Structure 1
Amino acid sequence: MKLTVALPVVTLAILGACAPEQQVSGRSLYLDYCASCHGVGGKGDGPAAEGLGKMPADLTRIAARNGGVFPKVRVMSTIDGYTRRGDRSSVMPELGVVLQEGPLVLVDTGDGVMTPTPVNLVALADYLEKLQN
């Protein structure tokens, strides 16, 4: 009987954690964490780019490199570092820890499953989608 009472409380707590509480600026996040290497316009020409062993990617061409489709889930995995763990050739920092502050939002990760995802990560990916040529 206590399990029946506790279950709705847990469910409400989870749903409350997924509700966006504030507006997040993907552009501000981009300028704070990405522009120094990728440049303000996303072309890979930021002031720190020259000091890296590998030139940063041109983020305005992500969709073009993917047959005209912006691969949002893959982009988010790259940003947070999930798909790059153990890749010693990557000079891009893993931003997952930095971007996980704040509320979670539900995102379809391509398999029909709505996955709680940091709102900052989603906002940054949405901004990158707007930069596409």
Structure 2
Amino acid sequence: MKSAAVLGLLLPLAACVAQPDIPSARADFTALCAGCHGDGGRGDGDMADTLDQKPADLTTLAARNKGAFPGTRVMAQIWGYAKPGGRVMPEFAVLLDSEVVPYDGGDGILTPTPIRLVQLEQYLRTLQR
């Protein structure tokens, strides 16, 4: 009986290992975001001065939201389904072409979301000061 229980725990782990490699969130951030937002996410990337609108300082997202990271709003921005007037941030189709996982941005609603977007949102949480 114990063997079956251990096997039941190991099978999901084996499925994770067998999945194809996907870039880390840091790699995606560097490739797709740092040019405008900078390596540290402060809005000081190499291209920032060429834009009409200064890129957001991503390190203050939680501070600007009374200390709570605004996961749902961030996901809306990086996924591209929230397009307020004057949005200059591009859509990142390459991030959409990945496995879909349940994601809760803090509103209690699980939404099927491409894993690379979830990883990027989680990485942005680590940049908060």
TM-score bin (small chain):
0.7 to 0.9
For residue 25 of structure 1, report the CA deviation from its aligned partner: 1.2
CA 1:116–1:49 in structure 2 vs 1: closer, same or farther (change >3 Å)?
A: same
Q: What SS class does the counterpart of residue 46 from structure 1 fall into?
A: coil
Q: Which residue of 2 aligns with 1:11?
A: none
- Map Cα deviations across residues 80-117 of structure 1 (whole Å, 9 max, x no partner): 111116x2x1211122x221111111113555442211
2:122 is the counterpart of 1:123 = no
Q: Distance in 2 between matches of 1:110 and 1:44?
A: 24
Distance 1:68 1:114, change over 3 A: same
Deviations 1:37-90 (A, max 9, x none): 0000000000000100011000000000000000112101111111116x2x12
Q: Secondary structure at the residue paired with 2:112?
A: strand
Unaligned runs of 5+ in 1: 1-18
2:90 pairs with one of 93, 96, 99? 93
Conserved 8 A contact 2:70-2:105: no
Q: Mean alpha-carbon deviation: is it higher for 44-53 or for 19-28?
A: 19-28
Secondary structure, aligned partner of 1:83: coil
| 8 Å CA contact retained: 2:37, 2:57 | yes
Instruction: Give percent identity, aligned residues only.
Output: 49
TM-score, structure 2 length as denominator? 0.78
Matched residue SS, 1:92: coil
Long gaps (5+) in structure 2 = 1-14
Compute the TM-score of the two structures, normalised by the length of structure 1.
0.76
Distance in 2 of aligned mates of 1:79 and 1:45: 18
Question: What SS does the aligned partner of 1:117 have?
Answer: strand
Measured on the aligned residues, the alpha-carbon RMSD in Å equals 1.9
The answer to whether the Cα contact below 8 Å between 1:24 and 1:123 also exists between their aligned partners in 2 is no
More displaced stretch, 69-78 vs 31-40:
69-78
Which one scores higher on RCO, CA 8 angstroms, separation ≥ 6? 1
Aligned residues: 112
